[in-house]
Amino acid sequence: MKYLIWIAVAAIIWWVWSKRKAAARRRQRDDSPQPRAPERMVRCANCGVHLPESDAVIHGGDHYCSAAHRDQAVSRD
C-alpha cells in the first residue's frame, strides 16, 4: 500500500513537470520573431538619408529623418 502512495506522488510530480515543460515550449514558440513584411524606405527631404517609413517624421507630405531636420526644412521655407 505504501508503494502505491509513492507511485501516485511520482506520477503527480511527473505530470506537473511535463505540463510546465509543454507551457515553456509554447511560450518559446510565441516569442520567436515573426517574419516582418519588408518596410517601405523613404528619403529625408533635408539630408537625403534613407530610413524606414515608420521611423520617419512626416510633415507636409515630406519625410524627414528627425524632428531637427523637419524644423530646418520648415524654417528654410
For Zn ion, the binding residues (CB under 5 A) are 44, 46-47, 65, 69
Q: How far is the CB of 53 from Zn ion (least distance, A)?
A: 14
Q: How far is the CB of 25 from Zn ion (least distance, A)?
A: 45
Output 13 or 49, the one with its CB closest to Zn ion.
49
- Give the DSSP letter string of 2-25: HHHHHHHHHHHHHHHHHHHHHHHH
Spatial distance between the Cα atoms of 22 and 13, rounded to a whole number of angstroms: 14
Grid cell in block for residue 29: 514558440
Q: How far is the CB of 72 from Zn ion (least distance, A)?
A: 8
